[in-house]
Amino acid sequence: NSKGELLSLTDAAGNVLTSCRYSPGNKPGYSDEKVLLEGKNSTDNWQDSQVPGGTPGFHNSVSPWSVDLGLQGSSLKIPDLLFEGDSVTVEIEIFNLGLKPVEDTIIVYLFIDQNENNLRDAGDRQITEKVFFYSSINSSTVKVNLYNLPSGQQHLGVEIAYSADENKSNNLLFRDLAILTQQNVLHLNEIKFLTFDGEAEWIEIINTGLNPVRLNGWCLAD
């Protein structure tokens, strides 16, 4: 582990079929992985594994897939300042992270992750399901409209579905939205500050509006 040794694979006749020099200094438990199987054994075609224990018997964690449409941190573009009742356009940039170009129909789902489990399931509020023809070597953008936004903290999710996709791990993306209300519907209604021993102090808040107001992100101070 102090220096990179030359590792060779030879056949029964002693012919060297392939060889490479592995690199020292890996984080303990992380292997060296080849990026492109058919590529050369040069140092730029080998990287440290992205997962502990390596990936024996599976696709190398540093290797691109042949067909891989995915979402990245910059994929979801939405205005930062949002108010209750707003209608906005969301831009979703879908990246081709695989080795092959893709020209095919995919489905884009936009939803509110109401149980905040970072999945799209039956308990979530579906906003839209859009069929989209993807044709790009690098990336392509689809636009989706959001109408009549509810106030409060909303966990917005987007998922892409493509049957030929070999890597589904990057098909989901989430973003927390703080949607502000311009209506003064929340009021302090009662304060209990003189309490008996072992009894908590408390306040009562009343909502005089017609719709629920989520209090995520709110605070109290005295």
Q: Could you read off the pLDDT of 69-100 as tens digits, one per residue?
A: 999 999 999 988 898 888 999 999 999 999 99
Q: What is the pLDDT of residue 180?
A: 82
Q: What is the pLDDT of residue 70?
A: 96
Which 3-state string (H, E, C) describes 109-154?
Answer: EEEECCCCCCCCCCCCEEEEEEEEEEEECCEEEEEEEECCCCCEEE
pLDDT of residue 97: 94
Element (H, E) at 90: strand 88-96
> What is the value of pTM for the model shown?
0.73
pLDDT for position 104: 95
Residue 217, phi-psi category: left (phi > 0), alpha (psi -120 to 50), beta (remainder): left
C-alpha angle with apex 58: 52 to 61, nearest 5 degrees? 50
Q: State residue 80's pLDDT score.
A: 84
- pLDDT at site 157: 95
- Answer for the pair 68, 44: CB distance below 8 angstroms, yes or no: no
Which parts of the chain have pLDDT scores under 70? 1
3-state helix, strand, coil in the chain (%, to 5): 0, 45, 55
- What are 29-56's pLDDT values in tens digits? 999 999 999 899 998 999 999 999 999 9
